[in-house]
């Protein structure tokens, strides 16, 4: 059973990116940590394509600097149908560089909750202490899991020692690849990464 760190590929120049939170969004940190927004999430929210990035094509996983999992309707449907963990899908409109609607069917895929399956001792990076007193990473260089504790039925999850990191099991990764979804990047566990 293999797992991969799942994120957005920011290296493709043809794709747009999002760099700023909407001003109307309060408690914007919650979808970074897997905490539910519920009624706090405003209807009709818009994100803007970053003007610093010339690409305007929409990927199925939208690169962003917010530590969110921003997805297209296609990716939302795949996640809704095939993942084992609860996900709060928060709909938003994506505006292009001229402020026009590029898509009104994009979502923050807020994977809810965390799992304490990260191996703090073997993993590498810059450590910090969370307000709750538990040790976490604020910068991750290599990630390992406590393999004997991982539930083999779970195919998508966040890790408690760095909640912005989302992992997928190899079967879910293979399904995303087979569907031809775009904008994804996967890092095998134990390989060098730089996640902040």
Average pLDDT score over residue span 1-24: 94
Cβ burial 22-33 (10 Å sphere, 16+ → b, else e): eeebeebebbbb
Tokens of 61: 């996983």
pLDDT at 118 > cutoff 70: yes
Average pLDDT score over residue span 76-83: 98
Tokens of 77: 């449907």
The answer to whether 58 and 4 are in contact (CB under 8 A) is no
Give the pLDDT confidence of 45-67 residue by residue, as tens digits: 999 999 999 999 999 999 999 99
pLDDT computed for residue 131 by the predictor: 77
pLDDT at 121 > cutoff 70: yes
The answer to whether 28 and 149 are in contact (CB under 8 A) is no
pLDDT at 137 > cutoff 80: yes
Backbone angles phi, psi at 74, to 5 degrees: -60, -45
Question: Is residue 46 helix, strand or coil?
Answer: strand
For the chain, give the mean pLDDT: 95
pLDDT computed for residue 181 by the predictor: 97
């Amino acid at each position: 059973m293999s797992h991969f760190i799942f994120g957005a590929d920011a290296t493709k120049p043809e794709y747009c990116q999002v760099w700023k939170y909407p001003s109307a969004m309060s408690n914007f940190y919650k979808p970074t940590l897997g905490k539910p927004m519920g009624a706090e999430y405003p209807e009709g929210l818009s994100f803007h394509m970053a003007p610093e990035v010339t690409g305007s094509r929409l990927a199925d996983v939208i690169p962003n600097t917010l530590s969110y999992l921003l997805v297209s309707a296609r990716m939302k449907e795949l996640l809704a149908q095939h993942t084992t963990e609860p996900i709060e899908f928060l709909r938003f409109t994506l505006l292009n560089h001229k402020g026009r609607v590029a898509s009104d069917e994009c979502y923050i895929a807020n994977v809810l909750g965390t799992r304490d399956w990260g191996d703090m001792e073997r993993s590498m990076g810059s450590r910090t202490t969370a307000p709750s007193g538990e040790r976490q990473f604020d910068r991750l260089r290599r990630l390992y899991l406590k393999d004997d504790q991982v539930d083999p039925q779970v195919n998508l999850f966040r890790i408690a020692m760095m909640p912005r990191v989302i992992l997928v099991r190899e079967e879910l990764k293979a399904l995303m690849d087979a569907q031809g979804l775009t904008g994804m990047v996967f890092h095998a566990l134990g390989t060098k990464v730089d996640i902040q």
